Amino acid sequence: MRCYICVKLPSKMKTLFFPIIFASLLPLAPRALALPSAGESSSSRAIVVTTQDDDTDPEADARRFSRLQLRASRFFEQEEWASARAAYSLIISQKPGVTSDYVRAIISSLMLDNSSGAIDIMNDAINHHVSFDSIFNGVRRESFAIGSHDLYSDFLLKVKEANPWMGRSIDRQLLEYASFRNNPSEMVSRALIMLEGSPDNLRFLLPLARGYLLQGNLGRAMTTYSHILTLDPRCMEAILYLGNHYAMTWQRDKTDNNARQMATDYLSQAYHIQPTPYVHDLLELLKPHHKK
């Protein structure tokens, strides 16, 4: 079987046809797959044309499909985005439901500035019962791997705009991404959105408290950590931050016995749950008759 990838270059340059030999790659019927949508630039157009193959052996079909997967992977790794999208779209049409294939087809579309095509692929994945969380996680992983971090967050926002019913799940993904990037304003705003529907969810309260800390808003951070301890008295993150906060308050003013007592209470609780040299030394420092 002979397969051609046609790339239409800008004006004043000839259209080039690159022959690629796909030995018995696709099923019998001749077919053509034109991938770019109407909004895609002509410079990224890719057309895959397949010719008829007389081999009806199921094992031969499996070998053809395996070769297609190998070529798709090579296109993707070499950042030949139009060809990668063409190959992965063929794979999806023949064997839908595989998360990694959808993810790479989406990434290839996004790298071609074809966000509508990426959303179409996402919707096709959902129609084939692929978890959208697994798609989001895959897009995040692959976008990081190719060094295009913003690709992930931009994709999430476009999917949310196209599918408002997915808004809460996408806001959760954006909150996790903001926490990973230590983006305080996004952490606070996304956490507050999530807490509207689940006010006592530690998964959203903890990044909210950290976001306040990164913003330098210690009052709100400590208030949030105190609330967290009413929900989970053994939350080490909340205990340690509160203990350190009061210890630093006392170190700034050694006459503040209330701060010293609060720091001692929290850090003693932390040491009881998980003893560490750092907490031990801090507790020693907080003792009333400690001498430097």
1-11 pLDDT, tens per residue? 445 444 444 54
Residues 154 and 42 in one domain: yes
Q: Are the beta carbons of 214 and 187 closer than 8 angstroms?
A: yes
Q: What is the dihedral of CA 73, 52, 109, 98, to 10 degrees?
A: -60
Residues 112 and 8 in one domain: yes
Q: Are the beta carbons of 174 and 190 closer than 8 angstroms?
A: yes
The last residue of one of the domains, among 213, 232, 251, is: 232
The span from the CA of 268 to the CA of 252, in Å, is 21
The span from the CA of 257 to the CA of 260, in Å, is 5
Confidence category of residue 152, pLDDT binned at 50, 70, 90: very high
Residues 15 and 80 in one domain: yes
Residues 57 and 156 in one domain: yes
Residue 230 CA to chain centroid, in angstroms? 31
Residues above pLDDT 70, as percent of the chain: 79
DSSP at 68: H
Residues 51 and 136 in one domain: yes
Number of domains in the chain: 3
Residues 172 and 278 in one domain: no
Residues 96 and 208 in one domain: no
Residues 66 and 203 in one domain: no
Residues 270 and 290 in one domain: yes
The last residue of one of the domains, among 140, 162, 184, is: 162
The span from the CA of 178 to the CA of 190, in Å, is 8
Residues 10 and 96 in one domain: yes
Confidence category of residue 258, pLDDT binned at 50, 70, 90: very high
Q: Residue 204: what residue type?
A: F
The tokens for 166 are: 């997915």
Residues 288 and 260 in one domain: yes
34-48, 67-81, 171-185, 264-278: segment of lowest average pLDDT: 34-48
CATH number at 139 reads 1.25.40
Residues 128 and 105 in one domain: yes
Determine the structural domain holding residue 201 and report its residue range: 164-232
Q: Quick check: 150 pLDDT over 90?
A: no
